Structure 1
Amino acid sequence: QFFAFVHYWEPHCPYNQPKEYRHLFRHQKGDLSDLEVFKAKAGYSYVPGWGKTGNLWEGEEAKKSIQIPDKGKSGPMTVSHRLEIPHTGERTIDLYDGEIRYLDHLISQILDVLQETKTLNDTVIIISSDHGEELGQHEISGQKMYGHVGLHEPVVFVPLILWQPKILPRGKRIKGFAQHVDIVPTILDLMGMKKRPKLDGKS
């Protein structure tokens, strides 16, 4: 028996998937806007392993940050004004679609290993996300929003996919409301284990 939690960053801004997945989708003619051509007033942040991020901190605005006391538990929390690199409408959607296709590839690698080890049909697979992405569907102060900003449906309505051919019906859709807090009780239920009394959520 085993349990594995696998976290992938994709699909998530900055959309900097490998090049073979960056140009798969094109809603508009011409070259896609790559991260290198995005302009900003301040320097980019860097994260080891994947380079430039899409978020940055504007120097002057960062000086306006405030500190919120945390009752001595972990020190004060600093809140600053965050800026976003500009996006380019449908070309940004093209990059986002490429990120989804890249994630499909990454998940397929896990499924291939489970198939090779003959454990696939005995494994419960759950796929979800902590948030979705705005892709210009809504505006704030007259500006189209990209990324996980606000509480519109594209941000809060995320997939929750469960697969286990021996105990779960194929293609069934649950119409009721579900939350991330329900995932652990569902796993325990599928494993035939009792839910702990103080555990939030339901199967």
Structure 2
Amino acid sequence: MKIIYIDIDSLRPDHLSCYGYKRKTSPYIDSIAEKGMRFDGCYAASSPCLPSRASFMSGRYGVNHGAITHWGPGSDFYYPEGDGHSTKYPFFTRYLREAGYETVTFSSFGDRHHAWWYFAGWNEVHTHTMQEGNENANEVVDKVIPWLEDNGKNDNYFLHLQLWDPHTLYTCPVEYAEQWQDHPAPSFPSEEVIKKQQNDSFPRSANFLHTVDNFPDTMPRKINSRKDYEKLVNGYDGAINFMDEQIGRILETLKKLEIDDEVTFVISADHGESLGEHGIYGEHASATESVHHLPLIIKSPNVTQPNSDYKGLLYNVDVIATITDMVGLDIPLGWDGKSFLPRLKGEKGTFRDHLVMDHALYTCQRAVRDEKWYYIRTYHPGLYKFDQVSLYNMEDDPYQQENVIAEHPEVAKEMDHRLMEWQQENLGVNLNRVDPLQEVIKTGPWKYVTLDGWIEHLRKNNWFAAIEELEALYKEDDEAASVYGS
């Protein structure tokens, strides 16, 4: 098989036109979806970037691979059996390579996040620039096309390319953002919601959109109105459209090589992006729907039916297991992912009835998602405002605006039972492991923005009431420090 896996950072499915988005952001991705299957219920087991790609490499949940934050406590990639070459817990890429596949990546991820385990198992690693993820999609594709011209007709390769667009900051050419000015933006958040958000004082909130001094013209300085939000979403959609055009260059290359009908495409993301949900803009800071919901499109000759879809729930680790199954390999016993190949071939039925997910970079949270309900338990809020326990009705409230836990205690009890059962299954006595989430809770999710640094930032901006609120939450006596169950 010829497999091309396009891994797009910070991509929300509901901003792709093949998922019903009214703006035509992704005509080339749409053309792939038209020939294959679109998945509506794919979720990252762990977010954001590093935990998600650790799951990509390992086939395991974050609780089992250990790297659930970007550095410091809770970031150590865990090798069961003490060996990175275990046959029970193999790296995905090494497993494919041992089976005769040429494994090639065009990605600066390992460099950006100092993730040396990411380099395991590849025949070729192309970092293509020294920008550590700040390169645009055209810079990546400029390097991919010559590789395809030289190697594309070969059999049995797994080509992975990572495109950072549309990760903030939205650095696409400004005309890609400006093209949407006469196209209506999504209705959420409304002017009323934005007005309420003016009191928020956490990073990437309406009044504190940026944590850097320099940002491109594709982004507003603040979100004080719908006009500001529209500029932000225009930049996000522009980045998607610019990235999509680069994918079009790859499709044209495959067509010239006369192999476009032979290639299996997998298009997905590491995580999504909040665009106003929970008052957060242009960030992936929580175990919420906007952050964990992923696009997934698979087109495979003689496997997928044209323009088909699957609406059931699945994890990103299931995608790795399914690719493994597609090439005829057994799923390793130590992986958490399961193959949904029968669903890919059109078989009906439920694959997973619920998912458990976590985040530990900006907040410490675990979430449970089923077809209707989304339950979040916050163990440490970081600098953000989350209820300790939340429940959202996703049928009525897709943007998770109203915590309805008081109205549905029986649902909350069942979701919490699912969470406790999952934790026992993954952290039971036979595994004899410490929960990496607890390692982050002990020290706090203070990575890119620290508590002291943010208090100083608020002081410079005269937000003294917000400072008092943070200091009250995190005062040094043990009783107050345990508010969120540390």
Equivalent residue for 2:159? 4
Equivalent residue for 1:154? 290
Equivalent residue for 1:120? 260
* Superposed displacement of residue 42, structure 1: 6.1
Work out whether residues 134 and 155 of structure 1, in 8 Å CA contact, stay in contact via their aligned partners in 2. Answer: yes
Counterpart check, 1:169 vs 2:309: no
Choose from 109, 116, 130 the match for 2:270. 130
- Return closer, same or farther for 1:183/1:41 CA change in 2, 3 Å cut-off: closer
Equivalent residue for 1:98? 238
TM-score of the superposed pair, with normalisation by structure 2: 0.29
The whole-number CA distance in structure 1 between the counterparts of 2:256 and 2:284 is 37
The whole-number CA distance in structure 2 between the counterparts of 1:194 and 1:43 is 50
- Return closer, same or farther for 1:39/1:178 CA change in 2, 3 Å cut-off: closer
Work out whether residues 209 and 281 of structure 2, in 8 Å CA contact, stay in contact via their aligned partners in 1. Answer: no
* Superposed displacement of residue 194, structure 1: 2.1
2:275 is paired with a residue whose SS is strand
Letter in 2 for 1:166: N
Equivalent residue for 1:80? none
2:276 is paired with a residue whose SS is strand
Which has the greater radius of gyration?
2
* Superposed displacement of residue 155, structure 1: 1.3
Work out whether residues 273 and 284 of structure 2, in 8 Å CA contact, stay in contact via their aligned partners in 1. Answer: yes
Equivalent residue for 1:13? 168
Q: Which runs of 5+ in 1 are unaligned?
A: 29-37, 45-51, 54-84
Choose from 189, 192, 199 the match for 2:325. 189
1:158 is paired with a residue whose SS is strand
The whole-number CA distance in structure 2 between the counterparts of 1:17 and 1:177 is 32
The whole-number CA distance in structure 1 between the counterparts of 2:181 and 2:286 is 27
1:70-85 to 2 correspondences below 5 Å: none
CA displacement 1:13-34 (0-9 Å, x = unmatched): 1011023313111169xxxxxx
The whole-number CA distance in structure 1 between the counterparts of 2:232 and 2:252 is 30
Letter in 2 for 1:13: T
- Return closer, same or farther for 1:196/1:20 CA change in 2, 3 Å cut-off: same
The whole-number CA distance in structure 1 between the counterparts of 2:211 and 2:329 is 54
Counterpart check, 1:25 vs 2:165: no
TM-score of the superposed pair, with normalisation by structure 1: 0.66
Q: Which runs of 5+ in 2 are unaligned?
A: 1-154, 184-207, 340-486
* Superposed displacement of residue 39, structure 1: 9.3
* Superposed displacement of residue 113, structure 1: 1.4
Work out whether residues 271 and 284 of structure 2, in 8 Å CA contact, stay in contact via their aligned partners in 1. Answer: yes
* Superposed displacement of residue 179, structure 1: 1.1
Q: Which runs of at least 4 in structure 1 moved beyond 4 Å after TM superposition?
A: 38-44
CA displacement 1:105-143 (0-9 Å, x = unmatched): 11111111112112221111000011111111332xxxx
- Return closer, same or farther for 1:43/1:93 CA change in 2, 3 Å cut-off: closer
Equivalent residue for 1:70? none
Which structure carries more relative contact order (alpha carbon 8 Å, separation 6+)? 2
Letter in 2 for 1:202: K
The whole-number CA distance in structure 2 between the counterparts of 1:185 and 1:132 is 21
Letter in 2 for 1:126: V
The whole-number CA distance in structure 2 between the counterparts of 1:121 and 1:103 is 22
Letter in 1 for 2:164: W
Q: How many percent identity over aligned positions? A: 31
1:32-71 to 2 correspondences below 5 Å: 43-44=213-214
Work out whether residues 27 and 94 of structure 1, in 8 Å CA contact, stay in contact via their aligned partners in 2. Answer: no
Work out whether residues 121 and 166 of structure 1, in 8 Å CA contact, stay in contact via their aligned partners in 2. Answer: no
CA displacement 1:134-187 (0-9 Å, x = unmatched): 111332xxxx53322323212111101101242211222222211111122111
The whole-number CA distance in structure 2 between the counterparts of 1:147 and 1:14 is 10
Between Structure 1 and Structure 2, which shows a larger proportion of helix residues? 2
Work out whether residues 324 and 331 of structure 2, in 8 Å CA contact, stay in contact via their aligned partners in 1. Answer: yes
